[in-house]
Amino acid sequence: KAKSQGKNEYVVYTADLLNNSIEKLKLEIDLRKAIKNNELVLHYQPQVCIKTKKIVGVEALVRWQHPTLGLIYPNKFIELAEETGLITEIGEWVIEEACIQNKKWQESGIPSLQIAVNLSTQQFLKLNLVDFVKNILVKTKLNPKYLVLEITESMAMDYNYSINVLQELKKLGVCISIDDFGTGYSSLNYLKKFPLDYLKIDQSFVRDISLDENNVNIIKAIITLAHNLNLKVIAEGVETKEQLDILQKYNCDEIQGYLFSKPLSASHFERTLPKLLTEINNIYLRG
Ligand code: C2E
Ligand code: MG
Ligand code: MG
Ligand code: MG
């Protein structure tokens, strides 16, 4: 009896596996068409300066408007895009779309925003990255200082290669940010050598900030470290006033999180911008 049970489990297991790979294959076929069919969209999440309470930037986050499955979030397709190599094409679309949108906003008269774009490892390692970014800046006429490229610590493991690419990017005038800071394996050595502008404290540190003293100390240390290196600090994943208060107390520069706004479509962002600014002020006033 035990044997047949085991066999059944095995059958279920392979059926699951098969289903999974069929699902994945379907998704891959669809993803190949997604760019061409204009199914990718960017949502923009405001980044607020703690001191001035103004929105100084947005992070562009990709979503896939699938014709039958609805809105798909990056955790459902970025990995697949990386495995299949589609990520470079998607990433290039993201950079171009973000620059086009930011230029549009500037021309519409709203105060200039920095737009942050996430780079994938493959994009970072692709030899034409610097030329690609340069061409997009020329094509869209966006002032380079309004484009921020987010990389992660693990992408910068090949030290000599990374420093070279980052210096080339810096020469274009764009800004560089380390995303998910504190979660990578790399040594801190790169921090003083790489031409960086921002450190983004990973959400995991922010989330647990009020649980115990150690988390506050880590945040404090990251902010001090960054400021000593002349880098600005952004905290991501800020959801509560309590988290904001602590980050403000230790001189964090910018805040990004659901407390102020979820990522929004371009038109939603434009429509709610005036209201958003009032809301941000009210949140600060809250006791
Ligand atoms: P990330 O770059 O660290 O982006 C921050 C993520 O945290 C976003 O998730 C954002 O919606 C979410 N978030 C922001 N505020 C809060 C908050 O207060 N609470 C919580 N729980 N979450 C918050 P999203 O948009 O699902 O993106 C997930 C990840 O996918 C990103 O993490 C980034 O690594 C990747 N990703 C997104 N867009 C792109 C892209 O265009 N290219 C590449 N290569 N990766 C991307
Ligand atoms: Mg990011
Ligand atoms: Mg992040
Ligand atoms: Mg993250």
**Ligand 1 centroid to residue 62 C-alpha, Å:** 8
Residue of 161, 157, 156, 160 whose CA lies nearest to 176: 156
Decide: pTM greater than 0.90: yes
Q: Kindly indicate whether the ipTM for this predicted assembly is greater than 0.95, answering yes or no.
A: yes
Tell how far CA 223 is from the center of its chain: 19
Q: Find the angle CA(139)-CA(266)-CA(259) to the nearest 5 degrees.
A: 125
Q: Which amino acid is at 141?
A: K
| pLDDT value for 159 | 86
State in Å: Cα 198 to ligand 3 middle. Answer: 12
Residue 92 and residue 224: Cα distance in Å, rounded? Answer: 34
Provide, rounded to the nearest whole percent, the portion of the chain with pLDDT above 70.
93
Q: What is the per-residue pLDDT for 23?
A: 84
E strand segments, the chain = 40-49, 55-66, 70-72, 114-118, 147-152, 175-181, 198-201, 232-236, 254-256, 264-265
Please tell me the predicted confidence (pLDDT) of residue 1: 39
Tell me the best of 59, 61, 65 to mutate to test the pocket of ligand 1, counting ligand atoms within 8 Å of each CB and taking the most.
61
Ligand 1 binding pocket includes 89 (Cβ within 6 Å) = no
pLDDT of 266 higher than 60: yes
191 versus 9: which is more confidently predicted? Answer: 191
Residue 219 clears pLDDT 90, i.e. is over it: yes
Token pair listed for 74: 């990056």
Probe residue for ligand 1, chosen from 31, 147, 201, 236 as the CB with the greatest number of ligand atoms within 8 Å? 236
Task: With a cut of 90, say whether residue 285 has pLDDT above it.
Answer: no
Whether the pLDDT of residue 7 is over 60: the answer is no
Cβ contact 200:179 at 8 Å: yes
| Lowest mean pLDDT, pick from 32-41, 77-86, 204-213, 235-244 | 204-213
188: confidence class by pLDDT, cuts 50, 70, 90: confident
Tokens of 113: 């925003």
Q: In the predicted model, is pLDDT for residue 14 greater than 90?
A: no
Q: Is the CB of 120 under 6 A from ligand 1?
A: yes
pLDDT at 12: 62
pLDDT above 90 (res 57): yes
- Atom 11 (ligand 1) nearest CA: 263
Query: Has residue 3 got a pLDDT over 60?
Result: no
Atom of ligand 1 nearest to the CA of 256: 15
Report the alpha-carbon distance of residue 81 to residue 86 in Å, rounded.
Answer: 5
Is pLDDT larger for residue 8 or for residue 175? 175
User: Are 57 and 261 spatial neighbours (Cβ–Cβ below 8 Å)?
Assistant: no
**CA 239, chain centre distance (Å):** 17
Counting Cβ atoms within 10 Å, is residue 159 exposed (0-12), middle (13-18) or buried (19+)?
middle
Q: Quick one: pLDDT band at residue 43, thresholds 50, 70, 90?
A: very high
Beta-carbon count within 10 A of 27 CB: 20
Nearest to 269 by CA among 108, 151, 119, 141: 108
pLDDT averaged over the chain?
Answer: 92
| pLDDT exceeds cutoff 50 at 184 | yes
Is the distance from the beta carbon of residue 46 to the nearest atom of ligand 1 less than 6 Å?
no
pLDDT > 70? residue 2: no
Cα 151 to ligand 4 centre (Å): 11
Sequence-separated (6 or more) residues with CB below 8 Å from residue 4: none
Quick one: tokens of 132? 């690609």
Residues 118-172 have pLDDT tens digits of 999 999 999 999 999 999 999 999 999 999 999 999 888 888 999 999 999 999 9
